[in-house]
Amino acid sequence: MSALDRISQWFAVSRHACPICGQRRSSHSPLLLPVRHPRPRRILQALCGVCRSDIPWITHPLCRVCGRAERCGDCARRKIRYFEACRCAVRYDDRMRDWLARYKYRGNERLAPILAAMLAYVYESRFASMSIGAITSVPLSPERLGERGFNQAESLAVQLAEWYSIPYVPLLRRTRHTEKQSLKSRRSRVIDMKGIFECMDDAASVTPRPVNLLLIDDVYTTGSTIDECARIIRGAHPYSRIYGLAWAR
């Protein structure tokens, strides 16, 4: 194959079925946001132009704490914070709620690489220059893990860690089961999160020196989950800095 033929292939219109909608529509449109790593970039390029244009990227976070695109009352009310900051890839609108439900509750594992690839943009633009020492994730209770069969946050975290050659370290476990946080008020979330996590027995020895730790979750709502996780992690790693990375806000 000549060099000209190879270049033509790069710009050829793809008619493969979109992994989101299943339609055989063209995916030949520029990415809305740059992802340099070839593997997540290739995954995002497989989306058809319609689905790609539906992604509500958070390109200009207004809140410096949680990365929200609007003014944030939750962060203003929090007097003590155990994580440094959090950044999120997309707004949690109706379309993104559907994508996550198909992956998280209906077991459509084909969506996992897509959601992880969306996290890759935030990692590259916000965290890649920070020398992240390890990636961890928010754990599920044994009851919830048995119900779903997988931890969605862990799956995304492991994929991101593999792409960027960062150790994935499971640092936390849940001490008790709680009802779904999406059904609760902000006050109930804060109360429910207290004492719900603990460090793994060997967590202190896994990352013995102070590092920048990246904590992954799927959705950031009030920040109660990430903040409580960060509080527990800092008990074992008091000089480490914990940053949150969530798929949606």
* pLDDT for the residue 10: 42
Query: What band does 192 get if pLDDT is binned at 50, 70 and 90?
Result: confident
Examine the pLDDT at 152 and tell me if it is beyond 90.
Answer: yes
- Euclidean distance between CA atoms 9 and 3, whole angstroms: 10
Percent of the chain with pLDDT over 70: 83
Pick from 198, 197, 178, 174: nearest CA to 188: 178
Rounded to an integer, the average pLDDT of 18-31 is: 76
Question: Based on C-alpha coordinates, what's the Rg of the chain?
Answer: 19
Q: Please state the pTM of the whole predicted model.
A: 0.86
Query: What band does 189 get if pLDDT is binned at 50, 70 and 90?
Result: low
- Euclidean distance between CA atoms 210 and 43, whole angstroms: 34
Query: What band does 186 get if pLDDT is binned at 50, 70 and 90?
Result: low
What single-letter amino acid sits at 115? L
What single-letter amino acid sits at 179? E
* pLDDT for the residue 229: 96
Is residue 127 a contact partner of residue 214, using CB atoms and an 8 Å limit? yes
The number of residues in the chain equals 249
The CATH architecture to which 18-248 belongs is 3-Layer(aba) Sandwich (3.40)
Rounded to an integer, the average pLDDT of 108-136 is: 95
Query: What band does 246 get if pLDDT is binned at 50, 70 and 90?
Result: very high
Neighbours of 154 (CB within 10 A): 18
Residue spans per domain, the chain? 18-248
Phi, psi of 73 (to 5 degrees): -75, -30
- Euclidean distance between CA atoms 169 and 72, whole angstroms: 31
Name the range with the highest mean pLDDT among 1-10, 128-137, 206-215: 128-137
Alpha helices in the chain (DSSP H): 3-10, 38-45, 49-53, 73-77, 94-104, 112-122, 142-148, 152-163, 186-193, 203-206, 224-236
* pLDDT for the residue 29: 58
Examine the pLDDT at 3 and tell me if it is beyond 60.
Answer: no
Element (H, E) at 215: strand 212-219
Is residue 164 a contact partner of residue 37, using CB atoms and an 8 Å limit? yes
Query: What band does 30 get if pLDDT is binned at 50, 70 and 90?
Result: low
* pLDDT for the residue 71: 85
